[in-house]
Amino acid sequence: MTSVRFVFPKVRLAELIKTPGGLTVAEALERAQDNLDTLKPTCVAELTALLEFAEAALDRLDPAFDDAGLADLYAIAVRGIGAGAVCGLPAADEALGSLCDLVDHLRTGGAYDRAAVGVHVQSWRLLMNPDLPSEAARLMLDGLRKVSARYAA
């Protein structure tokens, strides 16, 4: 039989956040957003560099099941998630999430669809265009989600 023990630790953070001073919620959120805005150029540069790595990894991807190649692509895509929201390209984050889902499904299920991976990387390139109409981005993301969902267990 497993024994279970409960401890009620004192959380110092609970006391600290109540100490006088600090910020209002509105001020804090505005400051945090202003801080994030300073990262916009860095995020665009990082996403662009990752996209180039991903395109090169896609070119190297074997026509037959290529687990190592898929793992490379996953490692590239997962690093970019979160940058899109900061630099005003939130659709890029969603495309990367869908690519990670797809690669994970393929590796887990032992299935392989190089074209499905390719369409994700190509869409990533298109979604990096800040002038892309939002409706076009939405349709593209819907399509990507359907492609990755096809391989979900």
Partner 1 sequence: MSLDAASRARFNLERAAVMLLDDTPLGMSILVQIVTGLGAKTLYRCATVEQAEQVASNYELDLAIVDGMAPSGRGYDFVRWLRTEAKEPNCYTPVLITTAHTPASDVARARDCGGHIIIKKPIAPKVMLERILWVAKEGRPFLFSGGYVGPDRRFRNDGPPGGVGRRREDLAAAAAAEAAAQTSPETPPEIRQAS
Question: One symbol per residue from 22 to 61: x for binding partner 1 (CB under 8 A), - otherwise; what is it?
Answer: xxxxx-xx-xxxxxx-xx--xx--x---------------
Nearest to 79 by CA among 54, 113, 112: 54
**118 Cβ contact partners less than 8 Å away, ≥ 6 residues apart:** 58
CA distance 46 to 7: 44
Window 79 to 138, contacts with partner 1 (CB under 8 A)? 79, 81-86, 90, 93, 96-97, 100-101, 104-105, 107-108
When the beta carbons of 21 and 63 are compared against partner 1, the nearer one is 21
**126 Cβ contact partners less than 8 Å away, ≥ 6 residues apart:** 132, 140
When the beta carbons of 63 and 153 are compared against partner 1, the nearer one is 153
Instruction: Pick one of 56, 68, 71, 139: the residue that binds partner 1 (CB under 8 A).
Output: 71
When the beta carbons of 63 and 66 are compared against partner 1, the nearer one is 66
* Backbone torsion region of residue 82, taken as left when φ is above 0, otherwise alpha when ψ lies between -120 and 50, otherwise beta: left
When the beta carbons of 2 and 133 are compared against partner 1, the nearer one is 2
CA angle, 68 then 71 then 73, to 5°: 115
Binding segment for partner 1 (CB under 8 A), chosen from 58-66, 67-75, 116-124, 138-146, is: 67-75
**Exposed, middle or buried, 87 (CB in 10 Å: 0-12/13-18/19+)?**
buried
Kindly list the residues in this chain that would bind partner 1 in the complex (CB under 8 A): 2-14, 16-26, 28-29, 31-36, 38-39, 42-43, 46, 71, 74-75, 77-79, 81-86, 90, 93, 96-97, 100-101, 104-105, 107-108, 153
